[in-house]
Amino acid sequence: MPFQLFQKIRNTIEQVVGGGRGVDEELYEELEASLIQADINVQTTQRLIGALRRAVEEEGIRSIQQAVEALKREMVAILEVGDPSTMGLKEASLPPTLYLVVGVNGVGKTTTIAKIAHMLQSRGKRVILAAGDTFRAAAIDQLAEWAQRTGTDLVRHREGADPSAVIYDAIRAARARSVDYVIADTAGRLHTRSNLMEELRKIHRVAERELERVPDEVLLVLDATTGQNAISQAKLFMKYIPITGIVLTKLDGTARGGIVLSIADDLKLPIKLVGTGERLEALEEFNARRFVDRLLE
Ligand code: GDP
């Protein structure tokens, strides 16, 4: 993953320490600018700088290595949101496991659904896709194409049908066919915002009634290249539906991996998966330590 800006952050620390100045005020200022440039918001940047400052004052840090370690430690603390049981995708003890996938059109929702199906199938699981974006015929067709390519079953209704009926049918079909997972697509049109949000609420309610538990994951897909915009989108969705985790797409297409930190710190939601390309295999389960090590190699 190309994280040029993080390379710059590292260079900043190196220059200052290498120049024999130690960890000083100028370093903090340069670091602050670089972190913000890397799409980390002001609040999170200040949290990181604060942690570094404390490490310097309390632990007497003087070397680049130690400074980077202190920063990494705080980044991991930010990224490990919630208790360890929220890490990774939840699996129901009583199948089918249901994942509702929500997000604005264009963020990579459909591709992500196909990638998750592919990942689960490669682990020997059986998957049904539910074409819950009945607002657009093209969305149903696109999901059908992915279902064919990944060899998963698909439950679809006609354009304009009630999306919660599609998801209800998919849960029923999964039970009848002993399928392990239902992954449900949902609409992502934002121009008729209130309708969409009511629709999502209804889907959630109908699924909960049928499963006799809440959906196992409600995954919000966000596009990393949209920066702070992604955070505003998340806040809107969170007002209406209980999001359990984030999938961050297009991390291959941005030098601004810092958005990952802003999302975790600002939304306090775990990042479950990251998309790193257009191919089916380009999906990774998010691991905070590994991610941070890669940022500041
Ligand atoms: P949707 O409207 O949210 O369902 O978005 P799509 O799944 O149709 O994806 C929109 C575009 O983003 C497509 O061209 C995808 O190939 C692309 N895309 C999705 N995920 C990723 C990713 O992780 N990296 C890159 N580079 N492109 C992606």
| Residues 185-238: tens digit of each pLDDT | 999 988 766 689 999 999 999 999 999 999 999 999 999 988 889 999 999 999
Say if ligand 1 is within 6 A of residue 277 CB. yes
Looking at the CA of residue 103, tell me the nearest atom of ligand 1.
Answer: 3
- 106 assigned binding-site residue: yes
Of residues 251 and 132, more confidently modeled: 132
Using CA atoms, how far apart are residues 19 and 6, in angstroms rounded to an integer?
20
Model-wide pTM > 0.90: yes
Looking at the CA of residue 274, tell me the nearest atom of ligand 1.
Answer: 23
Q: How much is the pLDDT for 194?
A: 67
- Cα(107) to ligand 1 centroid in Å equals 6
- 251 assigned binding-site residue: yes
Length in residues, the chain? 297
- Cα(248) to ligand 1 centroid in Å equals 11
ipTM: 0.99
- Terminal Cα-to-Cα distance of the chain (whole angstroms): 11
Using CA atoms, how far apart are residues 108 and 223, in angstroms rounded to an integer?
7
- Cα(277) to ligand 1 centroid in Å equals 8
Of residues 71 and 255, more confidently modeled: 71
Q: How much is the pLDDT for 255?
A: 62
Q: Residue 130's closest CA among 139, 138, 121, 122?
A: 139
Looking at the CA of residue 115, tell me the nearest atom of ligand 1.
Answer: 20
pLDDT tens for residues 267-282?
A: 999 999 999 999 999 9
Q: Residue 153's closest CA among 169, 137, 135?
A: 169
What number of CA atoms fall less than 13 Å from residue 99's CA on the CB side? 26
- Interval 98-105 mean pLDDT: 97
Order across the sheet with 283-285: list the strands.
Answer: 153-155, 127-130, 181-185, 97-102, 217-223, 245-249, 271-275, 283-285
Say if ligand 1 is within 6 A of residue 106 CB. yes
